Amino acid sequence: MSNAERFAVETLPYLPELARAARRFARRRPDLAEDLVQETYLRALAARDRYRPGSNARAWLHAILGNAARSQYRRERREVRLKERWELQAAAADDVRDTDGAPTTPTPSLRALLDALPKGYREAVELVDLGGLSYHETAARLRCPIGTVMSRLHRARRQLRRAMP
């Protein structure tokens, strides 16, 4: 019997048991439970060279399932945080633009956040994000390379994201 056949013979009998455990992890989400079982077997197949034939395949598969479930949970939490951050950024962008898209003055709360930034960062944000200038125009106005403008914008936006409630 080949290693692949032996691996299948030792692991496939645990499929129903893993499906039940995955449903407990997934909590009323059958599609996620199926994905967890599939991910478990994919990971097990990828790591079959580390599996010792005759060892406890059941425990090994359950460990892989638990790790896959935790990874999925972390991934979903990260996606929720990114979505919330995106919505906050969209709301902040709406605060600084009129309904026709023209630049306007920032709200007092955004103004306070901007004033807390270092001068170079604040100028870059005001010219690009509030003033609607391109990176090239901003670089010319600030008399610095375009890479510096991009760097300042990145750092300023990161500081603003962290400071937003």
Domains along the chain?
A: 3-84 (1.10.1740.10), 96-163 (1.10.10.10)
pLDDT at 77: 87
| Phi, psi of 103, deg, nearest 5 | -60, 145
**Residue 97 three-state SS:** strand
**pLDDT, tens only, 87-120:** 776 666 555 555 555 555 677 877 888 888 999 9
Confidence of residue 42 (pLDDT cuts 50, 70, 90): very high
Share of the chain above pLDDT 90, in %: 45
Report pTM.
0.53
pLDDT of residue 24: 93
The single-letter DSSP state of residue 165 is -
Find, among 117, 112, 107, 164, the residue nearest to 125 by Cα. 117
Q: pLDDT tens, 14-40?
A: 999 999 999 999 988 889 999 999 999
| 26-33: long-range contacts, CB 8 A cutoff, minimum separation 24 | 26/69, 32/72
pLDDT at res. 129: 84
Predicted confidence at residue 1, as pLDDT, reads 73
Q: How far apart are CA 152 and CA 144, in angstroms?
A: 11
